[in-house]
Structure 1
Amino acid sequence: MQNIPLTFAPLPRNCSCALKPNSPRFLAQSFHRLSSCRVYHKRATEESLVMESIGSRLPAEAMKILHSLASHWDDIVDVDGLQVIRLKGAMTNEVYQIKWPTNTEHSRKVLVRIYGEGVDVFFDRELEIRTFEFMSKQRQGPRLLGRFSNGRIEEFIRARTLSACDLRDPDISALIASKLKEFHDLDMPGPKKALVWDRLRKWLNAARSMCSAEETRALRLDAIEEEIETLYTCLAADQHIAFCHNDLQYGNIMIDEDTRSITIIDYEYACYNPFMFDIANHFCEMAADYHTETPHILDYSKYPDLEERRRFLHVYLRSSGKQPVNSEVDNILKEVDKYTLASHLLWGLWGVISERVNEIDFDYMEYAKQRFQEYWLQKLKVL
């Protein structure tokens, strides 16, 4: 692995930054083993936390940064008395909450994110870091507090991570729609070109290279190349490019219960894309609940109905300062329905690849099969 110089962002002594856990890319549970780690499991709380014994060791680089950060806070009782809590629900990375006892009402907390092995096939990690830093400067997410060779340390936002049922709450859904429009309007540096098509082609090639001939036939991977090109031909003429999150599932959205403000987190897959793809992907995520005993099972009866989709789009378009007309909403909704197909293909391929490269306890292949099945069912309705 490439060595990255150790860096960290020292905080002023009187800094009172409020920090809280991301419930990131939150799809399934657990994660890769850390080398030379002794982990003692405790039953997760209702927030799906698993306590790590203090004997567990994060990477030495990470521990050095944590110690340096803690030494800048006057209210910490014991710099070495940190508590390590593993957060369940992360799919691509290992995520830990770190907290120290203080002489005030609230403990000090940060997040440590350890990058998953083998997932570089999905995204450019350096691009993701640059996106994270840009979002931090735009006050759109947690601050970057430090980096080490295979991970980073982030601010801990004091807010609640949404649950699956929150996405169907009309008030919360309206807040998400408005926030997503704000996200899409960000002027992220870089080529303003839709990447979903190249990403689909790249992931298809990777999936084919990993599958046996029998698996390729069963998953109909040979047919997907033509499907991608059909979608591209159908949708590429007028794509309405925006900076998109591309993984707007409930675990990547946080809400401050006092101010009712929304924060979108975890930018591994963020890039420029058609804004309608981002909305379509968000709608698809309403079928998922990654904190059940079977997190890989999707329930498409929870997919938002026509009224819910229209309401979301009305709020989204109204956030730009003008009142949308019904014909505009209906036209965009038709395109969103088509981009739903691209979402199914993308995450189906993601599941096939993840089965080979990811050690998280999640039935990736079953998840992939469901996404592909939904693609073939919906294709007949929207194309």
Structure 2
Amino acid sequence: MKVAYVTLFIYSLLLIAAISYFLCCFFRNWLKTAKSLCTPEEAKDFRLDSIEDEISLIEKELSGDQSIGFCHNDLQYGNIMVDEKTRSITIIDYEYASYNPIAFDIANHFCEMTADYHTDTPHILDYSKYPGLEERQRFLHIYLSSSGGLPSDIELEQLLENVEKYKLASHLFWGLWGIISEHVNEIDFDYMEYARQRFEQYCLRKPALLGSSGPPLM
């Protein structure tokens, strides 16, 4: 749970703003890039023409005041260095860092718990490893209390709800990343299958989290 304390430092400069800037700068730009790189068959397979509607839906559902902070945006275990002697934590690789809703960064951290990049199939995600409710509540309680005060039940539940909704944004974010990476990276990694899994999770979780559904992205 030390990661919860470290993330508090990353988010020390909090702002209140709408999510639209984050979506416009990241999601829509990445969607445009993905479309420009894909073959017509790939674009059809991933239903890229429908993703703009999904971005607009998330923008609408998560609009309003949000706690904004400087976020890492790729807080997976490979970017969290732990000193074996002091147990101090250093976070590395700020390639995707930016100011955006803190709930997105925490949601992305939870999603990364499903990955194991040191196997023969590093692109395969195991969603049975996604942290359960008790673990998520414990993480968020430590994060919120790190400033010195104890969070209220309402504050904790609101952040928990926001994090779960931003899980959908994480799936879209890294799904688009996978499509783009397939065309620009030479690393031995099945980016397209990774993207497919993220979009599948988006479609599976969307009805419960946003109360809406629609045709699958693929």
Same fold (TM over 0.5): yes
What residue number does 1:303 align with?
130
Tell me which residue corresponds to 1:284.
111
* Residues 260-295 of structure 1: per-residue CA shift (max 9 Å, x gap): 211111100001010000000000000000011000
Are 1:313 and 2:140 counterparts?
yes
Amino acid at match of 1:283: F
Q: CA deviation at 1:213?
A: 2.2
Shift of residue 209 of structure 1? 1.3
- Aligned equivalent of 1:372, options 199, 203, 216: 199
Say yes or no: does 1:228 pair with 2:70. no
CA positional deviation for 1:215: 1.4
- Which structure shows the higher helix fraction? 2
Shift of 1:207: 0.6
Structure 1: runs of 5+ lacking an equivalent: 1-173, 188-192
Q: Secondary structure at the match of 1:295?
A: coil
Query: Structure 1 residue aligned with 2:179, among 346, 349, 352?
Result: 352
Higher relative contact order, chain-length normalized (CA < 8 Å, sep 6+): 2
**Counterparts in 2 of 1:354 and 1:212: CA distance versus 1, 3 Å:** same
Greater share of residues in strand:
1
Which residue of structure 2 aligns with residue 178 of structure 1? 5
CA shift for structure 1 position 211? 1.5
Task: Provide Cα deviations, 1:322-350, integer angstroms capped at 9, x if missing partner.
Answer: 10122211111111111110100010000
C-alpha displacement of 1:194? 4.9
- Answer yes or no: is the 8 Å Cα contact 1:246–1:271 preserved in 2: yes
Specify the SS of the correspondent of 2:66.
coil
Query: Given the alignment of the two structures, is residue 332 of structure 1 paired with residue 156 of structure 2, yes or no?
Result: no
Q: CA RMSD in A?
A: 1.3
SS in structure 2 at match of 1:328: helix
TM-score normalised by the chain length of structure 2: 0.91
Query: Residue 275 of structure 1 aligns with which residue?
Result: 102
Give the number of aligned pairs: 205
Structure 2: unaligned runs, 5 residues or longer: 15-19, 211-218
Give the 3-state SS of the residue equivalent to 1:283 in structure 2: helix
Q: Give 1:302 deviation, angstroms.
A: 0.3
Change (3 A) 1:197 1:287: farther
TM-score, normalised via structure 1 length = 0.52
- Could you tell me which amino acid in structure 1 is paired with residue 31 of structure 2? L
Moved over 3 A (4+): none
How far did 1:212 drift? 2.2
Q: 2:92 aligns with which of 265, 284, 297?
A: 265
- What is the one-letter code of the residue matched to 1:176? V
1:382 and 2:209 matched = yes
Question: In 2, distance between residues paired with 1:317 and 1:243?
Answer: 16
Shift in Å at residue 186 of structure 1? 5.0
Conserved 8 A contact 2:103-2:166: yes
Q: Does the Cα contact within 8 Å between 1:194 and 1:241 map onto a contact in 2?
A: no
- Structure with bigger gyration radius: 1
Secondary structure at the counterpart of residue 365 of structure 1: helix
Q: 1:239 aligns with which of 39, 53, 66?
A: 66
Question: SS of 2:169's equivalent?
Answer: helix
Letter in 1 for 2:100: N
Equivalent of residue 322 in structure 1, options 149, 159, 168? 149
The yes-or-no answer on 1:294 pairing with 2:121 is yes
Cα contact 2:122–2:189 (8 A) shared by 1: yes
Contact 2:110 2:131 in 1 (8 A): yes
1:255 correspondence with 2:82: yes
User: Contact between 2:23 and 2:55, CA under 8 Å: does it hold in 1?
Assistant: no
Q: Which residue of 2 aligns with 1:204?
A: 31
Cα pair distance change 1:260/1:196, threshold 3 Å: farther
Equivalent residue letter for 1:369: R
Q: Distance in 2 between matches of 1:377 and 1:226?
A: 17
| Secondary structure of 1:272 counterpart | strand
Secondary structure, in 3 states, of the residue corresponding to 2:90?
Answer: strand
